[in-house]
Amino acid sequence: MSRRIIPLADVSSIPDFAGTATSPSGLLTDTLARPLRDLRISVTDRCNFRCVYCMPREVFDKDYQFLPHAALLSFEEIERLARVFVAHGVEKIRLTGGEPLLRKNIEFLIERLALLRTPEGRPLDLTLTTNGSLLARKARSLRDAGLSRVTVSLDALDDALFRRMNDADFAVADVLDGIETAQAAGLDPIKINMVVKRGTNDQEIVPMARHFKGSGAVLRFIEYMDVGASNGWNMSEVLPSAQVVERIGAHFPLDPLEAHTAAETAQRWGYRDGSGEIGVISSVTRAFCGDCTRARLSTEGKLYLCLFAVSGHDLRGLIRSGASDDEVATAIARIWQARGDRYSQLRGSASAPSREDSPRVEMSYIGG
């Protein structure tokens, strides 16, 4: 039987830094005047879950070839690149995967990144997204290393359904234990991300809201997205966020809240009784490209300018070729200044690249 090949990244050349250097000023903007403020760093392409919308087992099976360790950015390389990004204006760094807690000694990387300061002298907002499977045993060491807070992916409270969705027979009780341990360790406020797939887990919307209401955690519902090429995405499986809010509001009255920042992806809703809030991320039905300030660094050091990108820019090759920090800064500046990505705004239009003709990078490789 022939095996399905899922392209992960292009083989782009090392970014250009020749000519006039661009010194970091913290004011870098792209072609749509969007500043660079957020950097998501994937520290591993491996995960111990096989969630159907991210790493389906029929693709990521026991024979799947993950990246060898030598291909991964070292902690020293990640810190060096992060330092340049911060000089260009990045204020928030999120560590992702795969499952980032599978990266050995990740606390050492967190310690390094926690020491970075913005040009104004402020510490970074340093966060991490996890499936929660290792959180109970690592929460305290992560907090001690300098991590600010965590986001936990949890798609159902029903244990049988959760086990089917993670396809690793992992119990929901263990994720909930990890959340409680993280809260006790001071990794607050914890955000809980639920990817809503119509016909699969949308019946869990209200139970999830009920469970986390008043807990101090912020529950966020994410529309099922057409990321990558392996998840068999279909628009019929997307439940619009407006319906999520409607379902919850029928049980617990909600009022809209103002966004913390213009670049915030989630629309916020507060419980009328003051017992907390929820968020909805409408990446399919309500594009937020116009305020996107995020760049993504893959496990092997490719810079992607959009979650739906087709190709990346090889920063690992650049730094391993002996480029100076000034040359790296110049290359990153030129890449960002040329950025015009806005896939979600173009989705469904004639100018949007098709999934078949231009396979996009996988979420498990670039991070969510």
Q: 192 in helix, strand or coil?
A: strand
- Residue 194 marked as a ligand binder: no
Give the three-class secondary structure for 98. Answer: coil
Question: Was 26 annotated as part of a binding site?
Answer: no
Q: According to the annotation, is 87 in a ligand binding site?
A: no
DSSP secondary structure string for all residues of 224-278: ----SSSS---GGGB--HHHHHHHHHTTS-EEEE--SSTT--SEEEEETTSS-EE
Q: Check the annotation: does 94 bind a ligand.
A: yes
> Quick one: angle between helices 159-166 and 172-185, nearest 10?
90
Is 53 assigned a ligand-binding role in the annotation? yes
Single-letter residue type at 216 = G
Cα Rg of the chain (Å, integer): 20
204: which residues sit within 8 A by CB, 6+ positions away?
155, 156, 157, 158, 161, 194
pTM here?
Answer: 0.89
Per-residue tens of pLDDT for the chain, all 368 residues = 333 334 444 445 678 777 677 888 888 999 999 999 999 999 999 999 998 888 889 889 989 999 999 999 999 999 999 999 999 999 999 999 999 999 999 999 999 999 999 999 999 999 999 999 999 999 999 999 999 999 999 999 999 999 999 999 999 999 999 999 999 999 989 999 999 999 999 999 999 999 999 999 999 999 987 665 656 667 889 999 999 999 999 999 999 999 887 667 889 999 999 999 999 998 888 766 878 999 999 999 999 998 877 789 999 999 999 999 999 999 999 999 999 877 665 554 545 555 455 566 776 677 76
Distance between CA atoms of residues 55 and 64, nearest Å: 11
CATH, range 38-366: 3.20.20.70
Task: Tell whether residue 225 is among the known ligand binding residues.
Answer: yes
The verdict on whether residue 80 carries a ligand-binding annotation is: no
62 is in an annotated binding site: no
Question: Which of 192, 201, 203 minimizes the C-alpha distance to 247?
Answer: 203
Residue 156 assigned to a binding site: no
Is 47 annotated in a binding site? The answer is yes
Ligand-binding site membership of 54 (annotated) = yes
Q: Is 295 annotated as a binding residue?
A: yes
354 in a labelled binding site: no
Would you say 285 is a known binding-site residue? no
Is 19 annotated as contributing to ligand binding?
no
